[in-house]
Structure 1
Amino acid sequence: MTKGRSSACEIAADVSAGRASAVETAKAALARIEAAKALNAVVTTAPARTLADAAAVDDRLRAGETMPLAGVPVVVKDNIWVRDWRVTQGSRLFAEFVAPQDAIAIEQLRKAGAVVVGIGATSEFACKGVTTSPLYGPTRHPLDPTLTPGGSSGGPATAVAAGLVPLAIGTDAGGSSRRPPAHVGVAGFKPSYGAIPYGPGFAEPFFGLSVIAPIATDVADIALAFEAMAGVDPRDPDSAGIAQEAKNIAGLRIAFSPRLGLDVAVDDVVAEGLAFAIARLSAAGLSIAQRDPVWPAGATEEAIMPLQQAGLAALYRDAFREDPTVFDPDIARQIERGLSWSGADVAGALLASAAIANAFAAFFTEVDLLLAPTVPCVAWPFTQLGPDMIGGRAASPRAHAALTPFVNHARLPAISLPCGTDRCELPFGLQVIAARGQDRTLLEAAQEIAAMLRI
């Protein structure tokens, strides 16, 4: 976040104590968003609606209500329903869609006093590792406008990194709210599947993988937002309870895996930066053993990718057949590929997903926290799907995303923390992963780790 900007915790404390108002706080956020239009991080604003919501928060405070997120300005990703706001998934198919109600998570944020100030850019259907869409074009990296922040939550991550808001809400079905934060130097949290209720909203192509994901500079802000949104809700049959008590980091069994046990390329600067971070954590008193998860044969992102492609094809095949040019060309290719998969192919991908989940579950019977890279490289030009080279190898368009999807398939909580930069000051991240349901332990540990790294 831009130096001198207040955190969500600080804003909520000031607004609650009357040292600031929700209205003035919202006005300041809207002014910052307007001044940063060139980033294309926030694609929709509705100032009158935002200021009316902020005024309502001030009224609630005067009436004696206590709100943990009082007056905190929030940007919400363009695939999460926000009542009466234009929410498009970055798609021409939904260019005029206005959400009829809030997603449960947004409803809970509003109850906690947060104020939506804008909608953050996403790639079309949140299905691409670069944040660009047919409706809005590319989102620019806040440190270098020729680069991408990654995807698909590039708009929310950039809004936080540029200091437009202290808190943003993304989604994460394969790393979409961990990789962009890693690339722009902020924190992004993927909760356990079901920990935060999902929907109502758009139909998902991801078959039970996507989660609501808070993004902030401070882990304390993420924890505050998580507590406001988490909890079982009867409207979401997949919502699930999590452990109530957090375990102290001093007693946790911690492992470090330089490549998550996968045959993937990692740039030297990232590998060296992670090794340096692990050394600092060890020097601060953590006992960390190098250990890799053991994956089943054939466990690769390619093995599970048919689920996303077939999901897109199931949802949008009619529109694709009518006019494929309405879609982002990369999304059109995914839909076309999805139409070619057989039922046995999709079942095979589901079996691969289950095998990955079982392997991770076995690993976390012997380990409490796993540290690994979030991304294998720093940001690259926004005109490309990925960097040309990673770790001295020619890189496929998805090679930059190799270190995050397995966490989604195992339904585990994970957070990306900034832990270093390259010579051009471009950030990369440390991913901290825990067993399913141990979200509070993970968040408490992440705050300790961030302090140890002096982030």
Structure 2
Amino acid sequence: MSLLDAPLAAIAAAVQSGMATPEDLTFEALGRAEARNSGINAICALNADAKQEASGVADRLRSGETLPLAGVPVLIKDNIWVKGLRIAQGSRLYADHFAPEDAVAVKRLRQAGAVVIGITTCSEFGCKGATVSPLHGVTRNPVNPDLTPGGSSGGSVAAVAAGIVPLALGTDAGGSSRRPPAHTGLCGMKPTQDLIPYGPSFDEPVWGISVICPITRSMENIGLAMQVLAGLEPVVAPELAIAFSKDFGTGQLRDPDVDANCNKVITALKMAGVRVDNAYLDWPNNIKGHDILPLQFAGLAQMYGDIWRKTPDLFDPAIAAQIETGLSLRGTDVAAAHQVSNRMRDTLRAALNRYGVIATPTTPCAAWPAELNAPTEIGGQPAAPRDHAAFTPQINHAGVPAVSLPCGTDSIGRPLGLQLIAQAGQDAELIALALQLEPILKEIS
């Protein structure tokens, strides 16, 4: 096994001890990018200065610095600023935008000794659940290139799933760094809101819900990444107990294989001594995840409505439709969506106070064809455009942390994920619990 395929801590230890060099790891990662990206379109730009960055890390090591991510090659999603690199957030409007400075998260990775080797694809403005855009084209799932990795952080997850790098950053405003890991057999974490500073960056369609997220192969790697990104120190594992809901109280249909997988997960956890209770979430007025979409539509319309009217051909048709909808909304529609957001927050936080940790399937379906923005059917019924995201945006509006863990596959080998949700500020405890559950879930087929 190549060192690049080892846990992050092992990579850094080998570099720190002199058994490997940052330059060699960077050279290997760039070679993998050249060899593996063509079939999946996960990387939209390579960092021409990556080898120079690696040499800088080597100089720091020779001067005696201890670096927790020494020499680890990383990739960054195309809506997170990396100084001097083209960051276009998947849009032809920003095809010539070069970031004037690093986002805080990128700065912290570099301070820890990581080497940024490039930028990964995302959907336009990060506002779609598949990674397809006029600027970058179609990003594909390394598990099966006919399938999508999901979105909007599809490039980051595809690159990690393809083994190009062991760690990538994504963003998440409604599940964009949880659902794609579920579709590719990876781990993704959405931290408590503002635990990792979000900017400097572009303006957001909806402020106060977006977070920067680590995407990697294991919870051990997530733990180390969160030490670097947020200063989280490991804690003792809490009680092994969760409360499970197959539909998160939404009434959303699931594919039969997702329900069957949930039953396997529950059985495996109970057999391993984990207490599994039933979680009941009573969303007021039967609110659904799509009820907050007017906030995104109105935000896009406010930022890009005038440009869209003048140059509609520049936009992804799916994003253009969102802008057009946003332009037609009334102020009362947007106010109503704000009220839904607040009720989501109150309801989920109250449920977490009751249960501690709530578990759901990360998605109600497995990955779908790569060219499509969303699955056409879920649970044997026609699917609305955001039904595949039914179990994730509530967490963003509540501002609480969640992780997605691999938990087996469906009957034709498509990966599935288990989502664990914790109380605000319980990120370290959530990681500790997930570390305990991860080996149990790995045994599920």
Query: Out of 324, 327, 334, which is 1:336 matched to?
Result: 324
The reply on whether 1:159 has 2:148 as its aligned counterpart is no
- Residues 314-353 of structure 1 show CA distances to partners (whole Å, capped at 9, x for unaligned) of 1111211111111000000000001111111111101100
Q: Percentage identity across aligned positions? A: 48
1:134 maps to 134
1:101 maps to 101
Please tell me the residue identity of whatever aligns with 2:46. T
User: Using the alignment, how far apart are the partners of 2:300 and 2:9 within structure 1?
Assistant: 38
Q: Which moved more, 1:271-280 or 1:166-175?
A: 271-280
The reply on whether 1:444 has 2:445 as its aligned counterpart is no
2:301 maps to 313
Map residues 26-425 of structure 1 onto 2, 5 A cutoff.
26-36=26-36, 37-47=38-48, 49-230=49-230, 246=235, 248-249=237-238, 251=239, 253-425=241-413
Q: Which moved more, 1:362-371 or 1:431-440?
A: 362-371
User: Using the alignment, how far apart are the partners of 1:390 and 1:2 within structure 2?
Assistant: 39
Alpha-carbon distance, 1:38 to partner:
2.1
Query: Does the 8 A contact of 1:207 with 1:307 survive in 2?
Result: no
Question: Cα gap change, 1:272/1:2 in structure 2, threshold over 3 Å: closer, same or farther?
Answer: farther
* Matched residue SS, 1:163: coil
Alpha-carbon distance, 1:75 to partner:
0.7
Alpha-carbon distance, 1:4 to partner:
8.2
Q: Which moved more, 1:118-127 or 1:271-280?
A: 271-280
1:237 maps to none
Query: Does the 8 A contact of 1:252 with 1:369 survive in 2?
Result: no
* Matched residue SS, 1:54: helix
Count of matched residue pairs: 442
Alpha-carbon distance, 1:453 to partner:
2.1
Query: Does the 8 A contact of 1:8 with 1:69 survive in 2?
Result: yes
Alpha-carbon distance, 1:397 to partner:
1.8
Alpha-carbon distance, 1:3 to partner:
11
User: Using the alignment, how far apart are the partners of 2:376 and 2:334 within structure 1?
Assistant: 29
User: Using the alignment, how far apart are the partners of 2:385 and 2:184 within structure 1?
Assistant: 20
1:238 maps to none
Please tell me the residue identity of whatever aligns with 2:82. V
* Matched residue SS, 2:284: coil
User: Using the alignment, how far apart are the partners of 2:241 and 2:406 within structure 1?
Assistant: 22
1:236 maps to none
Alpha-carbon distance, 1:424 to partner:
2.1
Please tell me the root mean square deviation across aligned C-alpha atoms, in Å.
1.6
Alpha-carbon distance, 1:252 to partner:
5.4
User: Using the alignment, how far apart are the partners of 1:299 and 1:356 within structure 2?
Assistant: 8
Gaps of 5+ in 1: 232-241
Question: Cα gap change, 1:316/1:168 in structure 2, threshold over 3 Å: closer, same or farther?
Answer: same
User: Using the alignment, how far apart are the partners of 1:320 and 1:258 within structure 2?
Assistant: 40
Please tell me the residue identity of whatever aligns with 2:404. S
* Matched residue SS, 1:436: coil
> When the two structures are superposed, what TM-score results if normalisation uses the length of structure 1?
0.94
Gaps of 5+ in 2: none
User: Using the alignment, how far apart are the partners of 1:2 and 1:331 within structure 2?
Assistant: 41
Please tell me the residue identity of whatever aligns with 1:59. D
> When the two structures are superposed, what TM-score results if normalisation uses the length of structure 2?
0.97
* Matched residue SS, 2:406: strand
Query: Does the 8 A contact of 2:408 with 2:441 survive in 1?
Result: no
Please tell me the residue identity of whatever aligns with 2:86. R
Query: Does the 8 A contact of 1:246 with 1:444 survive in 2?
Result: yes
Question: Cα gap change, 1:284/1:2 in structure 2, threshold over 3 Å: closer, same or farther?
Answer: farther
The reply on whether 1:24 has 2:27 as its aligned counterpart is no
User: Using the alignment, how far apart are the partners of 1:402 and 1:91 within structure 2?
Assistant: 26
Please tell me the residue identity of whatever aligns with 1:230. A
* Matched residue SS, 1:207: coil
Q: Which moved more, 1:252-261 or 1:81-90?
A: 252-261
Q: List structure 1 runs of 4+ shifted beyond 3 angstroms.
A: 1-4, 244-247
Alpha-carbon distance, 1:77 to partner:
0.3
- Residues 170-201 of structure 1 show CA distances to partners (whole Å, capped at 9, x for unaligned) of 00000000001000110110001011011001
Q: Which moved more, 1:38-47 or 1:150-159?
A: 38-47
* Matched residue SS, 1:364: helix
* Matched residue SS, 1:200: coil
Please tell me the residue identity of whatever aligns with 1:207. W
Alpha-carbon distance, 1:21 to partner:
0.4
Question: Cα gap change, 1:391/1:3 in structure 2, threshold over 3 Å: closer, same or farther?
Answer: farther
User: Using the alignment, how far apart are the partners of 2:195 and 2:103 within structure 1?
Assistant: 14
